[in-house]
Amino acid sequence: MLVCKGLTKRYGKNPNALESIDFSIPSKGIFALIGRNGAGKTTLARILATELIPSSGSASIDGMDVVADATRLREQIAILPQEARAIPWLTSKQSIVSYLLYRGFSLGESEERAQSALARLDLQDYENKLTRILSGGLKRKVLVATILAADSRIVFVDEPTTGLDPISRADLWKVLEELKKEHFVFLTTHYLEEAEKLADVIGILDSGKLLGLGSLAELRKQAGYQYSIRTQQEDVKTKEGIAIRGLDGSVQILTTEEEAGRLAEKLVKDKARFSINPTSLEDIFYYLVKKPIEEENYEEE
Amino acid sequence: MKKSSQVYASVLVNALYVMKNYPVTLVNTLLAPLSILVVIVLVSKGSLLAVSVEGALIMTMVSAGIGLQGDLSHLKNDFRLQDMVVSSPTSAFVYMIGMAFSEIVYSAPALMILIVLAMLYVHTSIVGVAVTLAVLAMIFTFSIALGFLLSTFSSDIVQNWAFFGLLSTILTTIPPIYYPITYIPLPFRYIAYLSPTTYAAEIAQNAIGYLQLPASSLAIDWIVIIAVTMALFVMAMRKSKWRE
């Protein structure tokens, strides 16, 4: 089990990097922590990976406290930090071998494991190539292979697909899906579709606070709205649910199953164009962090 | 076995793989101590050859600490290696020792040439050799501890360069490594004593008979160098920003 009790982290300039995080989840499968930039995802991952000491509260993984039992825990964890980069003067194999030596493997075993991990990610052709000449996607894959080769039971991957093209991202998703069969993967991401596709349990973090936790179905239940309706009709009103008006004039309504049926009937009657879908993680995320989708997009543009 | 693997990892990442993949670094490592040595020997018309060879050895040991600070900061800030190592079974102490060895390995080409030169031109007793080796070990430990400590506080390249300038000035510019301290005019001589390297250089120069220091001065030199080294080593272990 991964258990956090009142976990809080304060930095000088950021007094509420994490605010009293409480949750408990099984330490298996993929746990995806989603949130905007600066939400506290990396801070939480780094505390659990024994890199940061919490200001207060506690956290443990499989009964091992991240502070008191850090040495024992480190035998079982591996982390791929968000800003990790492949060291350019090393070949792909040398990168993996050196990391495995840090983990305490012998040179012979490190070389065997490195070759096997490279093969698993179809990187054999790049085994003896310096990482500086590899593409961004391949460099990232080498780092993932490094973590994979360690075969640690608990793996932290902090925004591993940021900056990857769609094909490389899909490749990495396959690896993570494979990895979760035998490992506990703690994944942080701001790609909601990534969490939706991969995670068994999802946590939503915003401004250091955990706003939601559970499977997608459980989050839908927590939000209280199971369906999302989008329409261009401006005067549509809901008795039960929330409506978000976008800058493009469209209206999104998050609502219950019954109310969705009623609204759909009305929209059909009005001959309005609309779409109706089960509430997505994106809908829940924006609902919980109180940011309408279009408003957020507008800010980013 | 496990600790030796962890030490070896640092030697590979920071020395052997670098030298293998970028052979030009082998030439670079030779240049710093040897270039100054050549200049001093030429200017002194050979009279400072022995003391300069010893100075070059001290310079190589001190440069290891300066190099370590730069290398560790680079690996930490640009590649996040330290984050990955912190979350692994490797401790801060083992990481520091591994990186210290890597600097020795990286300096091996220069060290080998300097040792040959020392055997040819530095004439001293067995005791003198032992004292020189002890003081080299001490200054190496001091510079490594200082380099490691500063690297854990460096968060970007600008800070890294600031630390580099600070270390270079304190450890190599101020102290009279390649020549006796008596060459420095008196008011400025006290500034030289702000650097621990000065004390190491005095001990080494005394060991080869170039200086004739009174026993009390020699004792002070040893006390200062041992105290500073121990203090920095303890600080590196306790105050370095390993786990934040």
Q: Do A130 and B13 touch (CB under 8 A)?
A: no
Task: Please name the residue ranges forming H helices in B171-214.
Answer: 186-192, 196-207
pLDDT tens readout for residues A87-138: 999 999 999 999 999 999 999 999 999 999 999 888 999 999 999 999 888 8
Q: Calculate how close chain B gets to A39, using CA atoms only, in Å.
A: 19
Rounded to an integer, what distance in angstroms lies between the CA atom of residue B6 and that of residue A210? 37
Looking at residue A298, its pLDDT comes to: 36
pLDDT greater than 70 at residue A296:
no
pLDDT greater than 70 at residue A293:
no
**A 4-63 residues with CB below 8 A of B?**
46, 49-53
pLDDT tens readout for residues A27-79: 999 999 998 888 899 999 999 999 999 999 999 999 999 999 999 999 999 99
The alpha-carbon radius of gyration of chain B (Å, integer) is: 18
Tell me the pLDDT band of A295, cut-offs 50, 70 and 90.
very low
Rounded to an integer, what distance in angstroms lies between the CA atom of residue A156 and that of residue A185? 6
Looking at residue A183, its pLDDT comes to: 92
A186-to-A43, A153, B45, B209 alpha-carbon distances in Å:
13, 11, 67, 63
Q: Which CATH number describes the domain made up of A224-300?
A: 3.30.70
Closest residue in chain B to residue A71, using alpha carbons only: B89
Looking at residue B1, its pLDDT comes to: 62
B128-to-B204, B208, B209 alpha-carbon distances in Å:
8, 6, 8
Q: Which residues of B touch A46 (CB under 8 A)?
A: 83
Going from N- to C-terminal start, the domains of chain B cover 2-239
Looking at residue A300, its pLDDT comes to: 33
Show the beta-strand stretches assigned E in chain A. 2-9, 18-25, 29-34, 56-61, 64-65, 77-80, 154-158, 184-189, 201-206, 209-214, 227-231, 241-245, 251-255, 274-278
pLDDT greater than 60 at residue A171:
yes
Rounded to an integer, what distance in angstroms lies between the CA atom of residue B84 and that of residue B76? 9
In this structure, the strands spanning A2-9 and A56-61 are antiparallel
Q: What does the mean pLDDT of chain B come to?
A: 88
Q: Which residues of B touch A71 (CB under 8 A)?
A: 89
Name which of A75, A81, A156 is nearest B89 (Cβ-Cβ): A75
Q: Does B35 touch chain A (CB under 8 A)?
A: no
Rounded to an integer, what distance in angstroms lies between the CA atom of residue A253 and that of residue A245? 9
Looking at residue B152, its pLDDT comes to: 87
Q: Does A106 touch chain B (CB under 8 A)?
A: yes
Q: What percent of chain B has pLDDT over 90?
A: 39
Q: Do B21 and A103 touch (CB under 8 A)?
A: no
Greatest extent of chain B over all pairs of C-alpha atoms, in Å: 55
Top-confidence residue, B164 or A147: A147
Q: In this structure, are residues A281 and A219 in contact, taking their beta carbons and an 8 Å threshold?
A: yes
SS3 A56: strand
Name which of B18, B80, B244 is nearest A84 (Cβ-Cβ): B80
Q: Do B243 and A104 touch (CB under 8 A)?
A: no
Q: In this structure, are residues B181 and B189 in contact, taking their beta carbons and an 8 Å threshold?
A: yes
Is domain A2-220 in CATH 3.40.50.300, yes or no? yes
Domain with CATH 3.30.70 in chain A: 224-300
pLDDT tens readout for residues A212-262: 999 988 888 887 888 888 888 777 777 777 877 766 677 888 888 888 888
Kindly give, in sequence order, each residue whose CB lies less than 8 Å from that of residue A1, ignoring residues fewer than 6 positions away.
A24, A25, A26, A27, A60, A61, A62, A63
Tell me the pLDDT band of B37, cut-offs 50, 70 and 90.
confident
Q: What does the mean pLDDT of chain A come to?
A: 87
Looking at residue B36, its pLDDT comes to: 79
Q: Name the phi and psi angles at A112, rounded to 5.
A: -65, -45
Average the pLDDT over each of A148-152, A281-285, B117-121 and give the range with the smallest value: A281-285
A145 CA to centre of own chain: 19
pLDDT tens readout for residues B178-216: 888 888 888 888 889 989 999 999 999 999 888 888 999
Looking at residue B62, its pLDDT comes to: 87
pLDDT greater than 80 at residue A12:
no
For A62, what's the count of Cα atoms within 13 Å in the CB-facing half-sphere?
13
Q: Which residues of B touch A52 (CB under 8 A)?
A: 243-244
Looking at residue B52, its pLDDT comes to: 87
Looking at residue B209, its pLDDT comes to: 85
ipTM score for this prediction = 0.84
